[in-house]
Chain A
């Protein structure tokens, strides 16, 4: 496997990836793979697969997960730092520029109208994201109960989402233990 000539080259590749991917997350994976596997030959498909699997079972921002992991494979700690900065900085620049002008824009009536439509589209996108995620899990009775409870608690109470997540994780562990005991008995 090749190494970049300079850390800046690594930074630049991840900067480009951050600058061109819309929608973030998994959407950037094909572009990242093309750059670091095909064009540069820094890592192989096995590493790409590995980070996909790891991201499935670790929390965090997917783009940062991928940049940190691949950066580390290429050039150790400094590689991971430089790759992560590279993937973040385009957002930081673009969004900072937009932030400074958004208020002037939003005082325009037509822009306000547009934002009603944008929010409506966002509601639909969030719903679609939930459907897409639900295809990835196996729905047994336990999953259905958790799903229903989570919807009810999130909709009708003010309990912090962090607590709900924590309870979900703990219930998962307890359920696993019960299954194990049952398995041992039979």
Chain B
């Protein structure tokens, strides 16, 4: 149990260390580090993200708390709380250390050419990763049998309900640009209930 926890904590430490540009940048990292290693089911990951988005608090912290709790599910109440605390600490620690260093030593090294240039390469890469994740997620929702990684193009299952929901949501965001994430998630939830009740 301790080993499992440490392994997971190390992953969250890396996620905290490599997250740029806000909570969304950590989603590709989570998918690659947690889902591909079989530590969490992909559906559960995105359910969690939906909840993390619609509850107060930083998304990264919410996700760490969730997954820490979930990972310790077999070991009882206290272990689950402990798991949450460990994961949350792990994801917050890189930020805490780096900012503390900057606050005490000054931000000189941030202005160094080296860091600036590394960021010039990192930013487009992160945007590409986030785009890929959103694209992969919508394809998985509509055509769940397709697997790009394995070059498997199986169109036999078509979840048209999700496509209907998606198109309504896209239209909504086009007309109401100021729609907050929570509103969008709430509307999505209601549409899910309606559309799947009609065609289940």
Contacts and interface: CB of A to CB of B under 8 A. Distances in A.
Interface of A: 18-26, 28, 50, 54, 57-65, 68-69, 72-73, 77, 80-81, 84, 87-88, 90-92, 94-96, 98-100, 102, 106, 110, 112-130, 133-134, 136-137, 139, 142-144, 146-151, 154-158, 160-162, 164-165, 167-173, 175-177
A26 B102 contact: no
B114 interface: yes
Contacts of B181: 22-23, 125
B192 A120 contact: yes
A156 B98 contact: no
Contact of B57 (A91, A112, A149, A155): A91
B196 A23 contact: no
List of 7 A-B pairs having minimum Cβ-Cβ separation, nearest first: A172-B121, A117-B192, A150-B128, A121-B188, A168-B125, A60-B95, A91-B57
Contacts of A167: 125
A72 B113 CA distance: 27
Interface residues of B, number: 112
A84 B96 contact: yes
Contacts of B6: none
A162 B122 contact: no
Given A117-B189, A133-B126, A176-B117, A150 B132 contact: yes
Nearest to B65: A95
Contact of B124 (A112, A115, A124, A147): A147
Given A64-B58, A120-B188, A88 B92 contact: yes
Contact of B95 (A26, A65, A115): A65
A124 B54 CA distance: 14
B145 interface: no
A120 B95 contact: no
